[in-house]
Amino acid sequence: MNTNSNTYTVIYSIILVVIVAAVLAFAATFLKPTQEANVKKDTIGQILTAATVEGEDILATYQQEIEKAILVDISGEEVGTLNIEECEVYGTSDLKRQIAAEDKALPVYIFKNGITVVPCYGAGLWGPIWGYVGFEGDLKTIKAVRFGHKGETPGLGAKIADEPSFAEAFVGQQVGTGEILFEVAKPANRATEKNGVDAISGATITSQALGKTLNQWFGFYQNYFTKNAVCCCAGKACEEVVEPVNTVEE
């Protein structure tokens, strides 16, 4: 064959493209299990941070320190479980599906230290944002948080994940009642004190997006929080010790 002909060039190009595509496809298939394992490990690490649990071996620590991992629906009822031995957790793609799902199955991670962790997922300025929020036994007071993002501006919106002082601001804050369960806004725009934190300076849009995400997901879990919150009364659920009386509207 004439190596200087157009036919030779076309055939050579096609063969080269096919070979490269085959190599890339094989590499992607071969590396997929490792990639998925790394993503799971990172997700579990974020959950452990929200649960204030530490350990060198992330997977082993998770298995040892978690009491149970369940799935609940919007009414707050348990509808399934996650396999602890296999470190089964909901990743960001799973959380994204739950937003639009009519019959939601929302993960709840309950640890032996008394902290309950729930996730959140939403849209930031340049891409998805997500997080894990650890609650004390009253399922209202925040113990710790861990947020992540894909594409937020370094030094600005990315601070939701990188700035320790921002995460620390959530500690001790509470989920509110009514339309605004939680907010992240500038101090002058904050409607509440105990159920919100200040927005990051220079990253107002990302901060507001995070506040909207938290507010939405806390709404998803509101019935679960109400039904399973533990009072100081002999460790019973609040609804077990509160008599049905008429209350004064706030």
Domain coordinates in residue numbering, the chain: 40-241
Residue 234 has what pLDDT?
44
Is 159:200 a contact under the CB 8 Å cutoff?
yes
Q: How many whole angstroms separate alpha carbon 135 and alpha carbon 116? A: 5
Q: How many whole angstroms separate alpha carbon 150 and alpha carbon 124? A: 8
| Cβ-based neighbour number of residue 110 at 10 Å | 16
Residue 233 has what pLDDT?
47
Residue 246 has what pLDDT?
39
- Comparing CA positions, the residue from 203, 48, 66, 51 lying closest to residue 124 is 203
Q: How many whole angstroms separate alpha carbon 170 and alpha carbon 134? A: 10
Residue with tokens 């082993």: 60
Residue 31 has what pLDDT?
59
Consecutive 10-residue runs of the chain (250 residues): their mean pLDDT? 70 83 74 73 96 95 97 97 96 94 96 98 96 97 96 94 95 91 86 85 94 96 95 50 38
